[in-house]
Amino acid sequence: MDAIKQRRSVRDYTDKPISEEVLTALLEAGMCAPSAGNERPWHFVVITERTLLEGITEFHEYSKMLKQAPAAIIVCADMNRDKYPGVGYWVQDCAAATENILIAAQDLGLGACWLGMYPKNDRVEGLRRLLNIPEHIVPFSGIALGYPASAKSPGSRYDQTRVHRNGW
Ligand SMILES: Cc1cc2nc3c(=O)[nH]c(=O)nc-3n(C[C@H](O)[C@H](O)[C@H](O)COP(=O)(O)O)c2cc1C
């Protein structure tokens, strides 16, 4: 609950690199997500090369924090692992994996920010070109990662007016 409630999108990072151990912990968190029929359609592209991080900013206007971020993870879906073609449950699977990584990042003292990719075609195709992602793999989201340069206040978000009991 602490990590969930404290999490905010963090877009300013220090120079501190992220260790392999921490990156692996984040990937494990992603792979712990629930998925439809346990299809686990995900692949994760870990990016630490500066030219690639900056390359994303050329086709994604709201990803400028990647110029400073020491790492990013691209959450992708493997269409060959989609158990429900035409249904699109893979989108929810990848969203769950993305959120797991964001919460784990918070718990490990990192700052992170979800970067929307799918279904924006220019971003999906931009990632394909930049990272040599094959046709049957769809890049779903990006996660900018780094140690936060400043603290952000979470504030309370509980809203009783959004809660309905036993019907609307
Ligand atoms: C599907 C999705 C796409 C998002 N895309 C971006 C993005 O491209 N760039 C960005 O800076 N933040 C992006 N965000 C982060 C949101 O702006 C942020 O979650 C929202 O403003 C709430 O703030 P908080 O995360 O600090 O609670 C995205 C979030 C989601 C869920």
Mean pLDDT of the chain: 97
Q: Give the H or E element holding residue 31.
A: helix 20-31
Q: Give the H or E element holding residue 124.
A: helix 121-131
* Overall pTM surpassing 0.95 (yes/no): yes
Phi, psi dihedral angles at 112 (to 5 degrees): -145, 160
Q: Residue 119, preceding bond cis, omega within 30 degrees?
A: yes
141 Cα–ligand 1 center, Å: 11
Domain count for the chain: 1
Whose Cα sits closest to atom 18 in ligand 1? Answer: 9
Average the pLDDT over 12-20 and give the result.
97
* 163 pLDDT higher than 90: yes
C-beta of 5 in contact with ligand 1 (< 6 A) = no
Q: Which atom, in ligand 1's list, is nearest to the CA of 8?
A: 26
Alpha carbons 14 and 34: distance in angstroms, whole number: 32
Whose Cα sits closest to atom 21 in ligand 1? Answer: 9
* Residue among 114, 120, 152, 156 whose CB has most ligand 1 atoms within 8 A, to mutate: 114
156 Cα–ligand 1 center, Å: 17
* 153 pLDDT higher than 90: no
What is the span of the domain harbouring residue 138?
A: 2-148
Residue 164 placed within a domain: no
Return the pLDDT at 111.
Answer: 98
Return the pLDDT at 154.
Answer: 85
Residue 126 placed within a domain: yes
pLDDT digits (tens, 9 = 90+) for 85-129: 999 999 999 999 999 999 999 999 999 999 999 999 999 999 999
Residue 55 placed within a domain: yes
pLDDT digits (tens, 9 = 90+) for 59-77: 999 999 999 999 999 999 9
Alpha carbons 132 and 39: distance in angstroms, whole number: 24
Residue 61 placed within a domain: yes
- pLDDT band at residue 37, thresholds of 50, 70 and 90? very high
Alpha carbons 90 and 42: distance in angstroms, whole number: 8
Among 139, 105, 118, 120, residue whose Cα is nearest residue 10:
105
Alpha carbons 34 and 48: distance in angstroms, whole number: 27
Return the pLDDT at 47.
Answer: 98
- pLDDT band at residue 51, thresholds of 50, 70 and 90? very high
Return the pLDDT at 152.
Answer: 85
Residue 153 placed within a domain: no
Return the pLDDT at 114.
Answer: 99
C-beta of 128 in contact with ligand 1 (< 6 A) = no
Residue 30 placed within a domain: yes
Give the Å distances, CA to CA, from 165 to 54, 71, 132, 157, 168.
47, 42, 48, 19, 7
Residue 157 placed within a domain: no
114 Cα–ligand 1 center, Å: 5
C-beta of 24 in contact with ligand 1 (< 6 A) = no
Residue 166 placed within a domain: no
Alpha carbons 84 and 20: distance in angstroms, whole number: 34
At 33, which CATH number?
3.40.109.10
C-beta of 59 in contact with ligand 1 (< 6 A) = no
